[in-house]
Structure 1
Amino acid sequence: MEEQYPQPPAAEQPTTEPAEQAAPAAEQPSDAAQVAELQARVQQLEQEVAQYKDQFLRAAADLKNYRRRTEEERASLIRNATAGLIMKLLPILDDFDLAMQHAPDEIRDHPWFAGIVGVQRKLQLVLESEGVKPIEALGQPFDPNYHDAVMHEDVGPEQAGKVLEDLRRGYMLHDRVIRPSMVKVGQER
């Protein structure tokens, strides 16, 4: 049989490490260039991501503002359409008010008159349900935002500048005046 000789320990084996170490040293400059190139590419991509994120946030904000604006416009159109119809109904309510004020006492107990009062009240309730409310003018200080002064009367200093008579009732639709009150205003003598 052949005798086998033991293998020399690893330290004793000839190595080619210096040659292998020389090769990575030669590759290191190209690795550093690749790393620098990759870092530049990452930085460029991060800038693009930031730019796209900014564009996305702006577009999302624009969409939110657009939706809010269109919702407000839609609500405004509905209110304005309602205001047009209400303006057509107010003269009818005025006629009812005049009729009630000038009705003779002998017909006030008649069932027919009670029916007319009921119709007037229903019309008032419909308008109130749509947000219409009368402007209380009598005894209030004159305000050109709510009152239209069509007459003046000489009075003492305590009544000067106040509404003495409500000639035609004014109305508000929610928070805006749709018809100012026609009033008589006191002026100091």
Structure 2
Amino acid sequence: MQNDKTKPQDAEVEKELDGVPEEFLDRDDAATAEEETSSLDLALGRLKDDLEAAKQEVLYAKAETQNVRRRMEKDIADARAYAATGFARDILSVADNLARAIESIPQSMREDDAMKGLVAGIEATQREVEKVFAQHGISRIASKGLPLDPNQHQAMMEIPTTEAEPGTVVQEMQSGWMIRDRLLRPAMVGVAKKPD
């Protein structure tokens, strides 16, 4: 009777082991457990490596995103600060013409009662232009009496003189302008040199 009872159980076990490859059936349980542990350790090691690589990729992506954001913020700030550059460069000729007009007014015209209003109006217009320039960070470059600065001055000629050190700006033909910390237009100047 015992044989009859064990046979159905053996048949069930054999049925369950039908899909298992033969090589696994012949090994003892200790060797199988050891192999399973080592394969689990390998898989765990690979998972740890993959996790570390994913963490690094996330850190790099965050850093790149932060760099792009900073660059964009800087570009936006520059665009705001220097948006008027093209317009300012174009309007400089108006400021130059106003300055030439004021310089060319003879003293007799300044003293004439009929012309005082005109002269005062031109001078007020020039002051208003300079005020608007100052509001937008546009400033005149100092030149006369200073050493030639190739970043701000453009030497147009050399003037032989003993009254100034060689390389000193002694004449300004056209004023130079800056917009904040950028050059808008260099000053065109004459520079002192030793007489021959």
The reply to whether TM is greater than 0.5 is yes
**Equivalent residue for 1:184, pick from 169, 186, 190:** 190
User: After alignment, is 107-116 or 45-54 more displaced?
Assistant: 107-116
In the other structure, the counterpart of 1:19 is none
The aligned runs of 1:1-189 (5 Å cut-off) are: 28-79=30-81, 81-105=83-107, 106-107=109-110, 110-156=116-162, 158-189=164-195
* Residue type at the aligned position of 1:102: S
Q: TM-score, normalised by structure 2?
A: 0.72
Could you give the per-residue CA deviations for residues 24-79 of structure 1, whole angstroms, max 9, x where no partner exists?
Answer: xx755444444333322221111111111111111111112222223333344445
Give ranges in structure 2 of 5+ residues lacking alignment.
1-27
The count of residues paired between Structure 1 and Structure 2 equals 164
Whole-Å Cα distance in 1 between the matches of residues 188 and 164 of structure 2? 21
User: After alignment, is 103-112 or 142-151 more displaced?
Assistant: 103-112
* Residue type at the aligned position of 1:148: Q
Identity of aligned residues (%): 28
User: After alignment, is 108-117 or 144-153 more displaced?
Assistant: 108-117
Could you give the per-residue CA deviations for residues 5-41 of structure 1, whole angstroms, max 9, x where no partner exists?
Answer: xxxxxxxxxxxxxxxxxxxxx7554444443333222
1:131 offset after TM fit, Å?
A: 1.6
* Residue type at the aligned position of 1:36: S
Whole-Å Cα distance in 1 between the matches of residues 58 and 33 of structure 2? 36
Whole-Å Cα distance in 1 between the matches of residues 106 and 149 of structure 2? 35
1:97 offset after TM fit, Å?
A: 1.2
Given that 1:157 and 1:188 are in contact with CA atoms closer than 8 Å, whether structure 2 keeps it comes out as no
Could you give the per-residue CA deviations for residues 79-112 of structure 1, whole angstroms, max 9, x where no partner exists?
Answer: 5542111101111111111122222334367344
* Residue type at the aligned position of 2:162: G
1:160 offset after TM fit, Å?
A: 2.1
Give ranges in structure 1 of 5+ residues lacking alignment.
1-25
Given that 1:167 and 1:182 are in contact with CA atoms closer than 8 Å, whether structure 2 keeps it comes out as yes
